[in-house]
Amino acid sequence: GAGVSQSPRYKVAKRGQDVALRCDPISGHVSLFWYQQALGQGPEFLTYFQNEAQLDKSGLPSDRFFAERPEGSVSTLKIQRTQQEDSAVYLCASSLLAGAPSLGNEQFFGPGTRLTVL
């Protein structure tokens, strides 16, 4: 596809369930990012991959959050034992190069997965 895709678009989970969110980046993009956007807020960084290597996971809020990108393309964000405070839109973005945005390396965003934890 031409853009970043994410699935599912909507996910409802009962508290305590595990969820897995999928991101398909633009083909050939080296960098992949996950952000969390709470209602009425801006996106907040969770983690960053360069190819299959997870180089920055400083934004993951707890050890219940885990992300992987085993073949350097598709990525999965997994949340274990979901809590109500995990309810948010989870955004995936990809960029062509490995460098920082300061090099004019644009991040392209997917439509997001809206997670609701009951």
Binding to other proteins in span 48-87, by CB under 8 A: 48, 50, 55-56, 59
**Of positions 21, 79, 110, 113, contacts other proteins by CB under 8 A:** 110
For the chain, the three-class secondary structure string (H helix, E strand, C coil) is CCCCEEECCEEEECCCCCEEEEEECCCCCCEEEEEEECCCCCCEEEEEEECCEEEECCCCCCCCEEEECCCCCCEEEEECCCCHHHCEEEEEEEECCCCCHHHCCCCEECCCEEEEEC
Q: How many residues bind other proteins (CB under 8 A)?
A: 30
**Contacting positions for other proteins (CB under 8 A):** 4, 31, 33, 35, 40-45, 48, 50, 55-56, 59, 91, 93, 99-104, 106-112
